[in-house]
Amino acid sequence: MSTYLYQKTNHYFGQLASGTEKCGEAELKGLGATNIKPGYLGVYFCANQRTLYDIVYRTRIFSRILAPLIVFDCHSEKYLYKTAQNIDWSDFLTLTKTFAITSNVADSNIRNSQYAGHVFKDAIVDQFRDKTGERPNVDTHNPDLQLNLYIHENKARISVDLGGGSLHKRGYRAQSVEAPMQETLAAAIIQLSDWHGERPLHDPFCGSGTLLCEALMKQCNIPAAYLRKKFGFLRLPDFDATVWNQVKTKANAEMIQIGQAGSAAPHVEQASLPAQALISGSDISTDAVKAVRANRAALPDAGKIKVRRADFHDLEGFDNTTIVTNPPYGIRLGDKEGATALLKEFGDFLKQKCTGCTAFIYYGDASLAKKLGLKPEWKQPLRSGGLDGILCKYELY
Ligand SMILES: C[S@@+](CC[C@H](N)C(=O)[O-])C[C@H]1O[C@@H](n2cnc3c(N)ncnc32)[C@H](O)[C@@H]1O
């Protein structure tokens, strides 16, 4: 059996949304990674096997963790095919297992990402067919092995996707409404809000409840991949089931319930515990409220997320609360003029009924940030899922 690049170097690459790099780096550091260095839309890092499994199981911020098998100069499709055939794919696949490829090509002789992926797939399939007369199947929805091909300036990298697909798919999204936020983006927003359960958190435009579910997962220390059924690292030739079981058992044992004294709300004195629910949301849409109820049900301690149908205009207001929200932004939901008018009214609501609160507002369209009528303490562009958005923090005095 060959020794692959990740085995020689212990080097990996984590992909994340633009603007979440600092969050990602801090998370990796906290989980024990070393040699953390920024890369294009991601972060390079080193980790031993145990730490690596832990990172894949717990990361809230990264959408993919990739283990490189080989890096090579690649000036043509022919060379891509030839080099991909040099890997013994029976180290990763059998005829009963399925695979899929994500590919990304930039500034290279090979111009088309999809075609590059196709050539790569042929190399794998032909190797099996030449040896056995049969070929493994491609399954783009739920493959056993997810591979990644990245070619930049004629330098190619072939990697195994250790999550076995994008890690933003936590597994709790049973129902959705229009314009749901990616879970990894929501997790980064919760992280940037610096909320630690010391006071209530409310989302007045909660939609399907992504921010609420991510707040609960963080607060209860629920591993982000807790509900995930398959992991790409199970297909690595050096996969160690004992180490993986130990990692998973330890992470699951570290989950905590909201309300356990000194755990999920460590900074709160018992006497000043909030009367309102620690994590709550509201939305004008009945379907959104139903979606939150369906989604939270998959998570441990789900009852700790309270949700109700309400137009924000009718809310009584908040005190000493962290407001984290993603109002309609007129791209996929309604029109931009409507979103502009709504934001102005929401700004008035914050000024008049939310003194003593801190608000973190994610605008899916960065140009809308000016429409609230409040001056932000800071702004952080965050791009994810095709949205060129921005997160703003407001102190409401
Ligand atoms: C961009 S979506 C929020 C998506 C959410 N972050 C998620 O991940 O599913 C905006 C939400 O605002 C809600 N909304 C629109 N007008 C509202 C109003 N006046 N009061 C409360 N909610 C409203 C919509 O029903 C929609 O669910």
Statement to judge: residues 319 and 391 lie in one domain: yes
Statement to judge: residues 212 and 355 lie in one domain: yes
Statement to judge: residues 303 and 387 lie in one domain: yes
Query: In angstroms, rounded to a whole number, what is the distance separating the alpha carbons of residues 66 and 279?
Result: 33
CA 364 from chain centre, in angstroms, equals 16
Any atom of ligand 1 within 6 Å of the Cβ of 180? yes
Pairing type for strands 322-325 and 387-395 reads unpaired
Any atom of ligand 1 within 6 Å of the Cβ of 182? no
CA of 364, closest atom in ligand 1: 1
Statement to judge: residues 290 and 196 lie in one domain: yes
Q: Does residue 65 fall inside a structural domain?
A: yes
Q: What are the DSSP E strand ranges found in 153-222?
A: 155-161, 201-203
pLDDT at 263: 44
Statement to judge: residues 62 and 200 lie in one domain: no
pLDDT tens for each residue of the chain, 397 residues long:
789 999 999 999 999 999 999 999 999 999 999 999 999 889 999 999 999 999 999 999 999 999 999 999 999 999 999 999 999 999 999 999 999 999 999 999 999 999 999 999 999 999 999 999 999 999 999 999 999 999 999 999 999 999 999 999 999 999 988 889 999 999 999 999 999 999 999 999 999 999 999 999 999 999 999 999 999 999 999 999 999 999 999 999 999 977 654 444 433 333 333 457 999 999 999 999 999 999 999 999 888 999 999 999 999 999 999 999 999 988 655 588 889 999 999 999 999 999 999 999 999 999 999 999 999 999 999 998 788 899 999 999 9
Query: In angstroms, rounded to a whole number, what is the distance separating the alpha carbons of residues 31 and 183?
Result: 20
Which of 193, 203, 284 most suits a substitution to test ligand 1, by most atoms within 8 Å of the C-beta? 284
Q: Does residue 46 fall inside a structural domain?
A: yes
Query: In angstroms, rounded to a whole number, what is the distance separating the alpha carbons of residues 95 and 73?
Result: 30
CATH of the domain at 198: 3.40.50.150
For residue 248, count other CB atoms closer than 10 A to its CB: 17
Q: Does residue 14 fall inside a structural domain?
A: yes
Q: Does residue 174 fall inside a structural domain?
A: no
Residue 373 CA to ligand 1 center (angstroms) comes to 19
Residue 327 CA to ligand 1 center (angstroms) comes to 6
Provide the 3-class DSSP secondary structure of residue 66: strand
Residue 15 CA to ligand 1 center (angstroms) comes to 28
Any atom of ligand 1 within 6 Å of the Cβ of 395? no
Any atom of ligand 1 within 6 Å of the Cβ of 328? yes
CA of 333, closest atom in ligand 1: 1
Helices 210-219, 183-193: crossing angle, 10 deg rounding: 60
Statement to judge: residues 154 and 214 lie in one domain: no
Q: What are the DSSP E strand ranges found in 182-318?
A: 201-203, 279-283, 305-309
Any atom of ligand 1 within 6 Å of the Cβ of 136? no
User: From atom 10 of ligand 1, which residue's Cα is the shortest distance away?
Assistant: 328
CA of 362, closest atom in ligand 1: 6
Any atom of ligand 1 within 6 Å of the Cβ of 181? yes
Q: Does residue 227 fall inside a structural domain?
A: no
Q: Does residue 252 fall inside a structural domain?
A: no
> Residue 67 to residues 40, 156, 159, 180, 204: CA-CA distances in angstroms?
16, 14, 5, 29, 40
Which of 185, 283, 353 most suits a substitution to test ligand 1, by most atoms within 8 Å of the C-beta? 283
Range of the domain at 329: 183-222+272-395
Statement to judge: residues 291 and 201 lie in one domain: yes
Contact by Cβ (8 Å): 151, 74:
yes
Q: Does residue 248 fall inside a structural domain?
A: no
Statement to judge: residues 131 and 218 lie in one domain: no
Any atom of ligand 1 within 6 Å of the Cβ of 326? yes
CATH of the domain at 151: 3.30.2130.30
Any atom of ligand 1 within 6 Å of the Cβ of 307? no
Amino acid (1-letter code) at residue 275: A
The sign of the torsion formed by the CA atoms of 72, 75, 77, 81 equals negative
Ramachandran area for residue 35 (φ above 0: left; ψ -120 to 50: alpha; else beta): left
Query: In angstroms, rounded to a whole number, what is the distance separating the alpha carbons of residues 44 and 339?
Result: 39
Statement to judge: residues 138 and 278 lie in one domain: no
User: H-helix or E-strand containing 387?
Assistant: strand 387-395
Total domains, the chain: 2
Any atom of ligand 1 within 6 Å of the Cβ of 311? yes
Statement to judge: residues 36 and 127 lie in one domain: yes
Statement to judge: residues 24 and 93 lie in one domain: yes
Q: What are phi and psi of 64, to 5 degrees?
A: -145, 145
User: H-helix or E-strand containing 288?
Assistant: helix 286-296
Q: Does residue 121 fall inside a structural domain?
A: yes
Statement to judge: residues 107 and 208 lie in one domain: no
